[in-house]
Amino acid sequence: MTISSPRQNVTRGGWGRVFRPHPISLERKWRVFGCLKHQERYTGNILLQKTYVENHITQKSKINRGELPMYYAENTHPAIIDLETFEKVQAEIARRREMGVFANWSINTTCFTSKIKCGNCGVSYRRSGKRQQTDSNQVYYIWTCQTKDRNSVSACNAKNVPEKMLQKVCAQVLGLGEFDEGLLLEQIDKIVVNGQDKLIFHFYDGRVITQHWESTARKDWWTPQARAAKSVYSKKNPRSSGTITCFTGKIYCGKCGQNLRRNTSTRVSGEKTHHWRCPPRNDCAHNGLEENLLKTISADVLGINEFDEAVFVDKVDRITVVSNEQLIFHLKDGSDVAHQWQFKRRQPAWSEERKQRHSKKMLEVWRDKHEQRENS
């Protein structure tokens, strides 16, 4: 049996059950004993006809579940363990079965274990930890529906609940300033995670309290370090969804340092246009770079008449968008080429006033023509 340290079991950046070290001496004895503990024959006695051959042609052995009588033969052979020990072990097995998950040393149980239930599928939530990149001694815990965890979101889309949030809401429900494990164990039978923002507390005394909560998982987890790690990952693994073009992962913003993303919009005419922009909420003060313009500029920089994807991929390492006026092409041969560009704004839509002025003018033109025709 190998004993894993807690650190080995949780890979950085990945979710996993956080194990605690086993109390070896006790548990090892139990395991070594494992193969003996269900077998009465080690006590020197034997239970006969525990299995039987159902059909003499197939010779298939079946477990006797009362179809045939069983015979208990005592002192048939020397005992390996005495009957008293054997019976104690059977009692221990029963006790551990009763305790369920709490009897398993390898599962790090907390006061929430077996108490958090999925409102969708009814199973218990399990705890997952993620070591923080900044401080590997810190583990960020969330509770997840086991159906969702084992299968996928399509199997159960129950909400994950960060442990800190559980503690906070429990304290509120119990009317405490600070979370208290003991009081939770004493008073609360189960907590059902319901919908997007509800936790339903079932008390042992029969009371049921529904408490709203708001997930802070994204905020808690989405640290600048996590952002940077995600960005590195995204560069190595371009998204499979969405259109991958020769520009994907090659255009960076000089201000926020992030990859520009391709946005597609449809004009009134039905024509589709593509713009390369910073991720939303990054206030980088440069406008979107239109893809056609980017192609024209690229062709210009590469000295070719018409933009060619193969040439672009072959020659250009990346492009930095410095501002609304400047792009820098970093070529694979190590040279940098700065290029001016001008963001072209399309004609803004006509204002109501302008439309009225225009129709009035057109009316005058029409009247003039009409009058001229009548007069002539």
Least distance in angstroms from the C-beta of 152 to Zn ion: 11
171 near Zn ion, judged by CB under 5 A = no
In angstroms, the CA 305 to CA 331 distance is: 18
Comparing CA positions, the residue from 101, 120, 114 lying closest to residue 158 is 120
Least distance in angstroms from the C-beta of 160 to Zn ion: 11
> Residues 194-213 vs Zn ion: string with x where CB under 5 A?
--------------------
Find the binder of Zn ion among 120, 124, 128, 144 (CB under 5 A).
Answer: 120
Stretch that binds Zn ion, among 110-118, 167-175, 217-225, 289-297 (CB under 5 A): 110-118
Comparing CA positions, the residue from 236, 234, 280, 231 lying closest to residue 257 is 231
Find the binder of Zn ion among 10, 18, 142, 158 (CB under 5 A).
Answer: 158
Helix (H/G/I), strand (E/B), else coil: 255: coil
DSSP per residue, 321-334:
E-SSSEEEEEETTS
In angstroms, the CA 201 to CA 212 distance is: 11
Least distance in angstroms from the C-beta of 156 to Zn ion: 3
Least distance in angstroms from the C-beta of 2 to Zn ion: 32
Stretch that binds Zn ion, among 38-46, 97-105, 204-212, 248-256 (CB under 5 A): 248-256
320 near Zn ion, judged by CB under 5 A = no
Least distance in angstroms from the C-beta of 253 to Zn ion: 3
In angstroms, the CA 219 to CA 235 distance is: 23
282 near Zn ion, judged by CB under 5 A = yes
Tokens for 216, please give them. Answer: 């802070």
Q: What is the total count of residues that contact Zn ion (CB under 5 A)?
A: 13
Find the binder of Zn ion among 174, 183, 200, 284 (CB under 5 A).
Answer: 284
In angstroms, the CA 265 to CA 99 distance is: 59
Least distance in angstroms from the C-beta of 98 to Zn ion: 25
Least distance in angstroms from the C-beta of 345 to Zn ion: 19
Q: Are strands 289-290 and 272-277 parallel, antiparallel or unpaired?
A: antiparallel
> Quick one: 114 exposed, middle or buried, by C-beta within 10 A (0-12, 13-18, 19+)?
middle
> Residues 137-156 vs Zn ion: string with x where CB under 5 A?
--------x-x--------x
Q: Which residues pair with 358 in a beta bridge?
A: none
Find the binder of Zn ion among 165, 169, 278, 297 (CB under 5 A).
Answer: 278
- Cβ atoms within 10 Å, residue 33: 12
Judged by the rule CB under 5 A, the positions of this chain that interact with Zn ion are: 118, 120-121, 145, 147, 156, 158, 253, 255-256, 278, 282, 284
